[in-house]
Chain A
Amino acid sequence: MLKPYFELRQQFETGKESVVDTINELLKEIDNKKDLNAFITLTSELAKKQAVISQENFDSGKPRTLEGMVLAIKDNISTKDIRTTCASKMLENYIPIYNATSVQKLVDAGAIIIGKTNMDEFAMGSSNENSYFGNVLNPLNKEYVPGGSSGGSAAAVSAGLCHVSLGSETGGSVRQPASFTGIFGYKPSYGRISRFGLVAFASSLDQIGIFCNNLVDLSSVCDIITGVDENDSTSANLGPTRSSSKIENIYKNLRIGYVSDEVLNNCTDYVTKKYRSDLNKLKEEGHELIEIPIHYSEAWIPTYYIIATAEASSNLARFDGVRFGFRPELNEGDNIYVKTRSNGFGMEVKRRIMLGTYVLSSGFYDAYYRKAQQVRRKITDSYKSTFDKVDMVYMPTTPGSAFKFGSRNENPIKMYKADFYTASANLAGVPAINIPSGLDDEGMPFGMQIQCNNFEDEKMIGYANYISKLINS
């Protein structure tokens, strides 16, 4: 099993382990577990070359911050000269000519890219069943979904195929699969990590997120990729986080917000039970528990899906077969748009483009899009007043553990409800992180999440490490 990077690094430094051997063994392991279908593209040769360079840097005593860390990247994040498909036929053969800001920062820090991970097409889905490249299997039980849309990134970490992976969240696409695969999944405050190079789904909600099975490595990556970016006008004007330094903090007298039973009525019994037991442990430690009123929770999912699909319908307009990507054989009289987009996009993507087009169209704009924006403002305001009273909100990430393949496909609304506990943080732009919390009867994991006020990412990662240790002790 792959050791955490922070442990392995000491051994790289002392020469007990070699980067080259680590990569070679890992590639074998990935091959052994290729039935998981976690990767769309493996960058084996590139990784081997990088390993040699990393080894040299350790040998000469000049390793960079993340020298030799093995990294997997969701396939909707632009990687120069490495195919970036968004798990779509539309971009099956698209090779970007530039690196996303986050990727560039990680490469500069010495991380080794091992491959591009599978996902729901254009990040639209909650089960990773919407990939042109096939389903990703949950490494803990292959009959179960790994969650989505960043299913491949979650599975790769959970199966020990990389140290850290990048995913992306629009409504829960990092936290939900992290919950289903038993790992940490961090969604930053909106604007904390540059979106430049993240193929847009819904620009006002999208954020790149980080998966890892420990918070030490997660925070090291966080401290590298956060910070303002001149190429992303929506990035917050802040320097990189310094979460690594806060990770071992012991916290006293925290004010912890929890949700009422009413909000939990979607949850399975074992999630509710574990939630209550977690809260009890926190109380025993002397923390103050404060019930927080959850306003508009019935509007979270509709609001999220109106805004997300509206933006998506516009963001995905650029896939027209003119400049890059899939272009079908055109015959006399064919419309390039109709043919390209009918054949290039999968069902779920088309469904969301149509939804988004509808809610923005004249005559419906006020009833849907404008109203959703108003509700979003109210949700944001309600979060603000919540964080006047509490240091964090603690609640389930998902209503239950992973579900089986095909169990939710007949009704998209049922699938959309998987985002119930996650989407509000994206709407409000606040940071959130999944902590592995418990296992169900079948031994499948589920997680709880911590949400903090805007731009309290560093503190939140510190809380997460502290609470994770507490609730899993």
Chain B
Amino acid sequence: MNEEIYEKYEPVIGLEIHAQLLTESKAFSSSSTKFGASPNTNTDPITLAHPGTLPVLNRKVVDYAIMMGLATNCKIREKNLFARKNYFYQDLPKGYQISQDKTPICYEGYLEIELDETNTKRIGITRIHMEEDSGKSIHDLDIDTLVDFNRAGVALIEIVSEPDIRSSNEAYLYLTQLKQILVYLGINTGNMEEGALRVDANVSVRPIGREKFGTRTEIKNLNSFRNVEKAIDYEVKRQIELIENGGEVRQVTMQWDGNANKTKEMRTKEMSHDYRYFPEPDLPPLLVGVDWVEKVKSAMPELPLTRKNRFVDQYEIPSYDAGVLIADKEIADFYEETIKKLEDKSTANNKLVSNWVMTEVMRLIQDRDTTVTDLKVSPEHIAEIVDLISSGAISNKIAKDIFSEVELGKSPKSIVEERGLEQVSDTSLIDDLVKEVISANPDSVEKFKSGNAKVKGFFVGQIMKKSKGKANPQLVSDIVDKYLN
């Protein structure tokens, strides 16, 4: 189809995110929530919905939901009701999920996403509500369906955005920021592979300029941000082509097939459940007073954007650097830890640390497909390297050379000492080397004097080589100048 056709339409996207809360026990029982336990060991009579059991709300869940609400500029509801969402499935022990229907604890919030250096966009957050997770059905074994109830009853918040998102890229930026916040608050691992974060996308298209929304489809099973982008792009294209060919978008639930890279229909609206929501009679209304909100607020960890601004102010590093560092909370922690260990706490060193973290450390993480906390390189190591460089004890080149050993957990200082790599800053020693190289290359001296300035580099290189890289390059340059001029 003609590319211009696509330009006539505007995607309208809303996202629903389920985030597992990092509470030690489940939302309504004291069962453990530890990930990776043997199947059906994180259970108790409440989790398994034994007859006569009753839910008891874990107040930590409320704390965490409030935190997320405050971090996303939401209003916090004072009188909260829980509701039952009724449906039958083998991994839903009670035959209903305890959720919040008409009274989400957080509502009318927003997030500002950074579209580029100068432009931001506000994405509305309709609601954040508390609910419990279901268990897991395992169908892909060659026997009957198996059920694991470890996950059943784990606390979730569902974060529902307004349909303010207009492209897959905006969706990506929104999700990235939301995940950063969740991780910063310490209420979610951010791990999509383990299902700690799950995304559903509501997608529709409309001709540009039209106010009324088109019919939307819901895409489920999006287990990575890249898949969210791909699925949105695919679905937007599919819907435009459908409309252009005289078809009509139907309200259906789709599933993203990551192997085929396409969406496929799961169920139509007619087939959708009637959840028969009604107020949960086993739980009294939850009252969240101003005191409770204030208490949570005062205990809130620093948010990513605040931290970014603080890095710029406090460490005087470029905004770009700060943005890269804070994107991952653990890396930002690593950076700050390194700064603390520095002996020479100069602004220049702050930037030097930033360079090292953004290049060598982040490269290592990527190469090894690991996290910063699992690296053998510690903040002490990076601090030592930067101190060694800034004091002139080693050159940048030597520092990079020895990093392959630091990677294995060895202290840079001890490597430098053991191998005698300390930079030579003794003027008389360098003086001798310079004299030696100049007298051995009279031709080059001639060339330089006849105006070929590049020859200086040759001399410096020769001298560095003779010193096995240990000579202080700045001193070498100064002394070469003295002799040549």
Chain B neighbourhood of A98, CB < 8 A:
45, 50, 53
- Tell me if B52 counts as interface (CB < 8 A to partner A): yes
Q: How far is the CB of A427 from chain B (nearest CB, A)?
A: 13
> Do residues A322 and B147 form an inter-chain contact, with CB atoms below 8 A?
yes
B contact patch SS: loop
Name A317's contact: one of B53, B86, B278, B282 (CB within 8 Å). Answer: B86
> Do residues A198 and B94 form an inter-chain contact, with CB atoms below 8 A?
no
> Do residues B88 and A317 form an inter-chain contact, with CB atoms below 8 A?
yes
> Do residues A336 and B53 form an inter-chain contact, with CB atoms below 8 A?
no
Once bound together, how far apart are the Cα atoms of A336 and B86, in whole Å?
17
> Do residues A360 and B282 form an inter-chain contact, with CB atoms below 8 A?
no
User: Across the two chains, which residue of chain A brings its CB closest to B149?
Assistant: A323
- Tell me if B195 counts as interface (CB < 8 A to partner A): no
- Tell me if A84 counts as interface (CB < 8 A to partner B): yes
User: Across the two chains, which residue of chain B brings its CB closest to A77?
Assistant: B52
Chain A neighbourhood of B282, CB < 8 A:
200, 203, 233-234
> Do residues B284 and A198 form an inter-chain contact, with CB atoms below 8 A?
no
Using known A-B contacts A317-B95, A323-B49, determine if residue A361 contacts B57 with beta carbons closer than 8 Å.
no
- Tell me if B296 counts as interface (CB < 8 A to partner A): no
User: Across the two chains, which residue of chain A brings its CB closest to B86?
Assistant: A314
> Do residues B52 and A197 form an inter-chain contact, with CB atoms below 8 A?
yes
Using known A-B contacts A317-B88, A317-B96, determine if residue A360 contacts B276 with beta carbons closer than 8 Å.
yes
A contact patch SS: loop
User: Across the two chains, which residue of chain A brings its CB closest to B49?
Assistant: A318
Chain A neighbourhood of B283, CB < 8 A:
233-234
A196-235 vs B, CB cutoff 8 Å, 1 = contact: the mask equals 1111101110000000000000000000000000111110
User: Across the two chains, which residue of chain A brings its CB closest to B96?
Assistant: A314
> Do residues A94 and B51 form an inter-chain contact, with CB atoms below 8 A?
yes
Within 8 A of A (CB), among B88-124: 88, 90, 93-96
- Tell me if A159 counts as interface (CB < 8 A to partner B): no
In which size bucket is the chain B interface? 20 to 34
- Tell me if B246 counts as interface (CB < 8 A to partner A): no
- Tell me if A310 counts as interface (CB < 8 A to partner B): yes
> Do residues B54 and A196 form an inter-chain contact, with CB atoms below 8 A?
yes
Q: How far is the CB of A66 from chain B (nearest CB, A)?
A: 22
Q: How far is the CB of B286 from chain A (nearest CB, A)?
A: 10
> Do residues A196 and B84 form an inter-chain contact, with CB atoms below 8 A?
no
Name A360's contact: one of B51, B93, B278 (CB within 8 Å). Answer: B278
Within 8 A of B (CB), among A36-95: 76-78, 84, 86, 91, 94
> Do residues B56 and A231 form an inter-chain contact, with CB atoms below 8 A?
yes
Within 8 A of A (CB), among B242-290: 274, 276, 278, 281-284
Within 8 A of A (CB), among B38-60: 45, 48-57
Once bound together, how far apart are the Cα atoms of A200 and B55, in whole Å?
12
Chain B neighbourhood of A84, CB < 8 A:
51-52
Chain A neighbourhood of B53, CB < 8 A:
98, 196-197
> Do residues A195 and B45 form an inter-chain contact, with CB atoms below 8 A?
no
Sample of 8 more A-B contacts, CB < 8 Å, known A233-B56, A316-B95: A77-B52, A203-B282, A232-B54, A314-B86, A318-B49, A323-B49, A360-B278, A369-B278
Query: Residues of A with Cβ closer than 8 Å to B?
Result: 76-78, 84, 86, 91, 94, 96-98, 100, 195-200, 202-204, 230-234, 310-311, 313-314, 316-320, 322-324, 336-337, 357, 360-362, 365, 369
